[in-house]
Amino acid sequence: MSLLTSLARLRALDEGIAQPVATVRHCHLAERPMVFIPLKLSGEAAAPLAAMLGTDRGDPRLLVVPQPRNRDLRFAWAAELAGVLLPYVEGFLGDTETVERRNADPYERTVDAPQIIVPNQGGMAFVRLLGRSTRFRRTDGPYPVPESVPLLGRWLTYFAERAAYPGSSLMLAATDELGRHWASGQSSLEDANLAALLSWITTGPSDDAEDPLVWPPAGPATDPGFDAEVLAPAIEGGSPERVAEALRTQLEPTWRLMWQAIDLLAGLPEGASVAQRWEQDRGSFSGMAAHVAEGTPPQARRDGAVAAAAKLARMERAQAAYDVQRAYDDPLVMAEYRLTGEAFAGEVIETVPDNVEGEGRSRKLRPLVVIKTDDPVRLAPGTSLGTPQRRTQGAELVSADDGLVTVKITKGMGRGRTAAPGAVPEVGERVCYTSLTDDFQGSPSLPESEATPWTHGGPPQEYTPDDEDAQEEWS
């Protein structure tokens, strides 16, 4: 936890209400998000019990497995779930735009993409397990399932995988996103309770959040008291309606909380880089849709050596970009870097807009800016700098002492003999410079999977679906 977040948490505790740790929203919010609250059977890894989902807050769909130990009923539930989720996902495929690429063929990208919002990390993990347990099902042979079930599994797996990329918004966990924008006065473990976190943000901490009779757990696990006293008798009674009504009481309160969380996030203005990250999400989604359309086999059970390395490289790239973009978008995030000396903000007190370096043909315009700052500057002369005020600009630290920092602008001030208007900050302007830059080299290529070298076990065996897949336990 950083110093600033710790301070915000202390202040939240002191004032009895959560404190903002962001001034803008750092995730994309879809116009029509799919809110998905799954419940599983206690004691099982991923045996589905029920789900409440939908894109309309006034009209949630409730899907229930009346007897969660019955395999056929679970598959019927998965097929029902596919009946809601797949049309939602496929609804985005029709409207596309052509994207030109350097060194590659243009491709079609959907103009919008689906967004699934689950309550918490547990919900994300459940989506991943549900995808894992349905994507290898067969529509023929022993234990056949409806065609939509393995397709649902592939999409759920995709959403869960994509959620591991920092900054992606295709699937969000409500508690995670709230926690990125507000600091409560409770521990991060307690923050995983949606009801508790929301009450910290809206009205202040309340004991009701811990009471399963007022706010049942947001899933995927259910309250043990409810399991023993209500659910078990209802299932044993054999009446599907009674089970459904019992589960509705557990899901409806969370349904309301989910939409409250969405409203809170929607109340924040969107960060400047959010659209760019959503564009990448749309590209990724279109790629997945193309895979599905081509009929490629489902995602492998485990990443092979090459796939793992490739994924790690992409995730690291996404993490680095996300960190930098958030700081550039949000002065409150940048403040963290100002505290650690990786950024500084202050007032411009002097400029030399026509400063030049070199002679003759190598003569280059290098405007100088002197900034007065109270921040501790821990950057060495020569460090490359960027600035949120002029994102295309590059600069270099010349010297920093006694609160006076001299910066040399090296990029993005125009090609002329004098700097373009507005490129050099005016005296009196408040500016911020940082050594964080969103300037990454691409990563070198990996071998083809079939050419995995001997150091990594050689080429992997290819996956061929067989009847044993159907024998696999489904829980």
Partner 1 sequence: MTDSPEQVIRNVLADLPRHRGVVVDSPPGAGKSTLVVRAAAHIAATGEPLMIVAQTNEQVDDLVARICDKHPHLTVGRLSAGGYVPPLRMLELPGVRVGTRIQDLGDPDIVIATADKWAWIGERVWPWAIVDEAYQMRSDKLLRIAGLFERALFVGDPGQLDPFSIVDGDRWSGLSWDPLQSAVSVLLRHNPGLPVHRLPVSWRLPASAAPVVSQAFYPFTGFRSGTGPGDRWLELTAGGMGTVHDRALEEAARSGWALLELPNRHTVRTDGEAVQAVALLAQRLLQRGAVAGSEQGERPVTADRIAVGAAHRDQVAAIRAAGLPPEITVDTANRLQGREYDVTIVLHPLSGRRDATAFHLESGRLCVLASRHRHACVVVARAGIAELLDAHPSAEPVQLGVPVKFPDGWEANQAVLEHLSRHRV
Contact between 62 and 35 under an 8 Å Cβ cutoff? The reply is: no
Question: Helix, strand or coil for residue 386?
Answer: strand
| Residue 186 Cβ vs partner 1, minimum distance, rounded to whole Å | 17
Residue 98 or 455: the one with the smaller Cβ distance to partner 1 is 455
Nearer to partner 1 by Cβ, of 268 and 313: the residue is 313
> Which residue lies nearer to partner 1 by CB, 120 or 452?
452
Distances (CA, A) of 375 to 184, 317, 335, 427, 431: 27, 29, 10, 19, 12
User: Based on CB atoms, which residue is closest to partner 1, 166 or 394?
Assistant: 166
d(CA 394, CA 413): 9
**Shortest CB 346 distance to partner 1, Å:** 18
Q: How far is the CB of 4 from partner 1 (least distance, A)?
A: 12
CB atoms within 10 A of CB 296: 11
Of 73 and 320, CB closest to partner 1: 320
Rounded to the nearest whole angstrom, what is the least distance from the CB of residue 444 to partner 1 in the complex? 4
The whole-angstrom separation of Cα 128 and Cα 155 is 10
- Nearest distance from C-beta of residue 320 to partner 1, angstroms: 7
* 362 Cβ contact list (under 8 Å, min separation 6): none
The span from the first CA to the last CA of the chain, in angstroms, equals: 36
* 232 or 312: CB nearest partner 1: 312
User: What are the residues binding partner 1 (CB under 8 A)?
Assistant: 3, 164, 166, 302-306, 308-309, 312-313, 315-316, 319-320, 340-341, 376, 378, 444-447, 451-458
Cβ 195 to partner 1 shortest distance, Å: 26
The nearer residue to partner 1, 51 or 324, going by C-beta atoms, is 324
* Shortest separation between residue 441's beta carbon and partner 1, angstroms: 9
DSSP 58-111: T--EEEE-SSTT-HHHHHHHHHHHHHHHHHHHHTTSS-EEEEEETTEEEEEEES
Specify which residues 357 forms β-bridges with.
364
Q: For residue 165, what are its two tokens?
A: 């990329």
207 C-beta neighbours (distance < 10 Å), count:
9
